[in-house]
Structure 1
Amino acid sequence: MTNRQLLRLMVGQVCIHSAMTGTRLAAPLLALQLGYSPAAVGVLLSLYALSPLFLALPSGRLADRTGLQLPVRLSTVAALLGAGLAAAWPVFPVLCLSAMLTGASAGTTQIALQRHVGRSARDTEQLKSLFSWIAIAPPTANFLGPLACGLLIDWAGPTPAHLTGFRAAFALMALLPLLGWLLIRSAPEAALPAPPTPGAERRSVWDLLAMPSMRLLLLTNLLQSAAWDAHTFVVPILGHERGYAASTIGALLGAFAVAAALVRVVLPRLTAHVAEWRVIYTVTLVTAVMLSAYPLMPGPLAMGMCSVVLGLALGSVQPMVLVLLHRITSEDRQGEAMALRVMTINASSFLLPMVFGSIGAVTGVAGLFWLVGTLVAVSSRAVPLLKDVGRPESSGQTDS
């Protein structure tokens, strides 16, 4: 894979993913403005993970069978419809439908691209590099989507947070996936695995889950995803409670996303001499401290600094997990393995906002940060068990 091809894939994913991240900022802010409770907003945010939760495995199997292009085309249509409907009818039921469509689009594109990039690597060193670079796309979208929507919400209408500004934000998010598809459609397909022989027994996803190394990796990724979701869910509510403008809230989420993207630029050099499990262990401890400190920050600047540190920490996890998943999974099931990871983290993203909303109604947003920080700190004891993950003798498979 050439650098130009990789860049087109990255920018294409940014465009498609931004449709989800942008609406994920605009939709809850509009819901709060319409008078809906934090619990209702929690349900709305959960829907961004509901459709990827159920579509992850079919998407992974589709990518294993057909390659990159068909999943991306389907994702483009879903994202365009989701954001476009929200622009035309900005009411709560339509916002819920938009959340499911744009969430499905982002998840399907991510699975297809991760499988495609992994199949294009020549060796382990290039595998780390490619996964680190392609992992920059989601946090970049997490920055650009919310920032663009926040600016439009504040400035595109006659007054800040006017309905016209929300419509403009949703309309822009509907156009971005088309640009993403134009960039990705020229990518050459990697060779597909040989089809199964007639009469061969169909393998179940439980075969993958039966691997101890797979279960440990998914559990580790789930815990880090919970910390990421806590930041995404609580910061808009905390900013709204403190009276911050939509653009300020978008900038806080954007600072987190930029940090998560930048750390992945240097990650291949760092991991050349540091074991993956050590990176994840350090990240876990830093995350626990930052989550506990976040609600104590007095203003946007201090909150932004915490968001940056959290972004640097959590941004380091995904490439490490992807490399290990690729090592322990056979070539013809890598899309399915990537889908398992996406399904696991989307199960977290679906359930946790509803839990956060219910708990937050009782304890306030500070209690949510402290609760998640405590859980992450306790989970750090399991991370050293990742020492053996990815070694040939631990998985029984060769590097693909």
Structure 2
Amino acid sequence: MNAALARLILAHVCVHACMAGTRLAAPLLALSQGYGAMPVGFLLALFALTQVFLALPAGRYADRHGLRRPVIYAVVAAVLGAGLAAVFPIYPVLCFAALTTGGATGVASIVLQRHVGRVAEGATQLKQVFSWLATGPAFSNFFGPFCAGLMIDHAGATAGALSGYRTAFAAMALLPIVSWLLVRTAKELPRIPHVPGAAKPRVWDLLHEPMLRRLLLVNWALSSCWDVHTFVVPILGHERGLSASLIGGILGAFAIAAAAVRVIMPLLAERLREWAVITGAMVATAVLFAVYPFLPTAWTMGLVSVLLGLALGSVQPMVMSTLHQITPEHRHGEALGLRLMSINASSVLMPMLFGALSSLIGVAGLFWIVGAFVGGSARGAWLLKPPADRTL
């Protein structure tokens, strides 16, 4: 990993950590102000909602303007949202902060992914750079909430609870500024020239490509598995009388495993094949979901969560590498936006569906239905294999 890539990864970490820390502090503050579960759930949904509507325009904008201009807009939005929450820590402003920090993170992710994908040369480098880049959100999901929690506890202990939240939001507002300092010196890649008289690109043109449709379906199926695990483990742990710390440890083991596999993958990139990794992850997830409801102890749940983390954590770099190989270079940003839009729409809608299904068929039934779906979708991942080498 070279210094330029390391700076971009750190820039990604800072923007994402701003959102992750705000996502911890905002609902905690709302709860402390007397808001109930429904307003807090709505607040949390807003972090993903902006990305659903902003991802596709952001991708197209990145295709036209490159790296630095979209990043500065993302930085301004994140600083504005978290900064206003520090000055006016009230529920409507917290909702605004959720929209702006969530949207800024989505824009920055698309722009940085597009940039490093264009810098990479060949399939092996694509897998390497996307594996390294994927470690950023994994780290920031720890770093942002950890810093925000420290600010809330320690600043609040000396100057009052509200002061602790103000300090946390102010600290989160500083992080995107670091991102801009890291990105502003990055070398801008040559813009792809516009073909005079060419028809205006439409998203349906991309979706007419069978390989991209297949890839998006596979990515959505695996993203839903990630959401199911996050949603169901607390419920299953509560049913079995596990403490909050044990449930948190199970989820933490999953996150650590997902991050660890992304650190290891660049070392093995030359031997990995995207279609094989994705297919293997889908089959492994289906099997692990089938046995999960039968696990009797926290230790066995933790072990299977680690295996799930290894399987699901390996997918994103392979999906990103494949996406850059099957879409035209001048539409990479748009394709990345389409992918982000689909998985964030899933993150907004699927928990409500999971809640309805689990109340009807139970937690075990939810695991088995989603596991059967992802296992049945594995053929789509297999068909991502280059046709010349495919044997069925």
Q: Helix, strand or coil for the counterpart of 2:150?
A: helix
8 Å Cα contact 1:131-1:322 kept in structure 2:
yes
Q: Structure 1: which 5+ residue stretches go unaligned? A: 395-400
Q: Which residue of 2 is the match for residue 320 of structure 1?
A: 318
8 Å Cα contact 1:64-1:332 kept in structure 2:
yes
Quote how far apart the aligned CAs of 1:281 are. Answer: 3.1
8 Å Cα contact 1:284-1:377 kept in structure 2:
no
TM-score (norm 1): 0.84
Q: Which residue of 2 is the match for residue 184 of structure 1?
A: 183
CA-atom RMSD, angstroms?
A: 3.4
Q: Which residue of 2 is the match for residue 397 of structure 1?
A: none
Q: Which residue of 2 is the match for residue 380 of structure 1?
A: 375
Question: What letter matches 1:371 in structure 2?
Answer: L
Once residues 130 and 177 of structure 1 are traced to their aligned partners in structure 2, the CA distance between those partners, rounded to angstroms, is: 22
8 Å Cα contact 1:152-1:165 kept in structure 2:
yes
Quote how far apart the aligned CAs of 1:151 are. Answer: 3.1
Once residues 178 and 259 of structure 2 are traced to their aligned partners in structure 1, the CA distance between those partners, rounded to angstroms, is: 21
Structure 1 residues 286 and 169 mapped into 2: Cα distance closer, same or farther (>3 Å)? farther
Structure 1 residues 19 and 306 mapped into 2: Cα distance closer, same or farther (>3 Å)? farther
8 Å Cα contact 1:147-1:251 kept in structure 2:
no
Once residues 264 and 382 of structure 2 are traced to their aligned partners in structure 1, the CA distance between those partners, rounded to angstroms, is: 22
Once residues 199 and 97 of structure 2 are traced to their aligned partners in structure 1, the CA distance between those partners, rounded to angstroms, is: 38
Q: Which residue of 2 is the match for residue 398 of structure 1?
A: none
Once residues 254 and 269 of structure 2 are traced to their aligned partners in structure 1, the CA distance between those partners, rounded to angstroms, is: 22
Q: Which residue of 2 is the match for residue 329 of structure 1?
A: 327
Quote how far apart the aligned CAs of 1:271 are. Answer: 4.9
Quote how far apart the aligned CAs of 1:286 are. Answer: 4.2
- Bigger mean CA offset, 212-221 vs 27-36: 27-36
Question: What letter matches 1:28 in structure 2?
Answer: P
Once residues 63 and 297 of structure 1 are traced to their aligned partners in structure 2, the CA distance between those partners, rounded to angstroms, is: 49
Once residues 73 and 293 of structure 2 are traced to their aligned partners in structure 1, the CA distance between those partners, rounded to angstroms, is: 39
Q: Helix, strand or coil for the counterpart of 1:389?
A: coil
Once residues 297 and 45 of structure 1 are traced to their aligned partners in structure 2, the CA distance between those partners, rounded to angstroms, is: 31
1:221 pairs with one of 213, 219, 222: 219
What's the CA shift string for 1:102-157, capped at 9, x where partnerless?
11111100110111011101222111111111111111111211222233334332
Q: Helix, strand or coil for the counterpart of 1:272?
A: helix
Q: Which residue of 2 is the match for residue 123 of structure 1?
A: 122
8 Å Cα contact 2:78-2:104 kept in structure 1:
yes
Question: What letter matches 1:336 in structure 2?
Answer: E
Structure 1 residues 329 and 180 mapped into 2: Cα distance closer, same or farther (>3 Å)? same
Count of residue pairs brought into register by the alignment? 386
Once residues 86 and 238 of structure 1 are traced to their aligned partners in structure 2, the CA distance between those partners, rounded to angstroms, is: 35
Once residues 205 and 74 of structure 1 are traced to their aligned partners in structure 2, the CA distance between those partners, rounded to angstroms, is: 23
Q: Superposition pairs for residues 35-184 of structure 1, below 5 Å?
A: 35-158=34-157, 162-184=161-183
Q: Which residue of 1 is the match for residue 345 of structure 2?
A: 347
8 Å Cα contact 1:292-1:369 kept in structure 2:
no
What's the CA shift string for 1:56-90, capped at 9, x where partnerless?
11111111111000111011011111222222333
2:366 pairs with one of 371, 375, 378: 371
8 Å Cα contact 1:42-1:354 kept in structure 2:
no
Question: What letter matches 1:389 in structure 2?
Answer: L
Once residues 172 and 155 of structure 1 are traced to their aligned partners in structure 2, the CA distance between those partners, rounded to angstroms, is: 13
8 Å Cα contact 2:128-2:269 kept in structure 1:
no
TM-score (norm 2): 0.85
What's the CA shift string for 1:205-226, capped at 9, x where partnerless?
1000011111111111112222
Question: What letter matches 1:73 in structure 2?
Answer: I
1:24 corresponds to 2:23: yes
Q: Which residue of 1 is the match for residue 3 of structure 2?
A: 4
Sequence identity percentage: 51
Structure 1 residues 370 and 39 mapped into 2: Cα distance closer, same or farther (>3 Å)? farther
8 Å Cα contact 1:277-1:383 kept in structure 2:
no
- Bigger mean CA offset, 25-34 vs 205-214: 25-34
Once residues 297 and 94 of structure 1 are traced to their aligned partners in structure 2, the CA distance between those partners, rounded to angstroms, is: 44
8 Å Cα contact 1:142-1:254 kept in structure 2:
no
Structure 1 residues 212 and 111 mapped into 2: Cα distance closer, same or farther (>3 Å)? same
Question: What letter matches 1:261 in structure 2?
Answer: A
Structure 1 residues 6 and 380 mapped into 2: Cα distance closer, same or farther (>3 Å)? same
2:384 pairs with one of 377, 383, 389: 389
Once residues 155 and 302 of structure 1 are traced to their aligned partners in structure 2, the CA distance between those partners, rounded to angstroms, is: 36
Q: Which residue of 1 is the match for residue 265 of structure 2?
A: 267
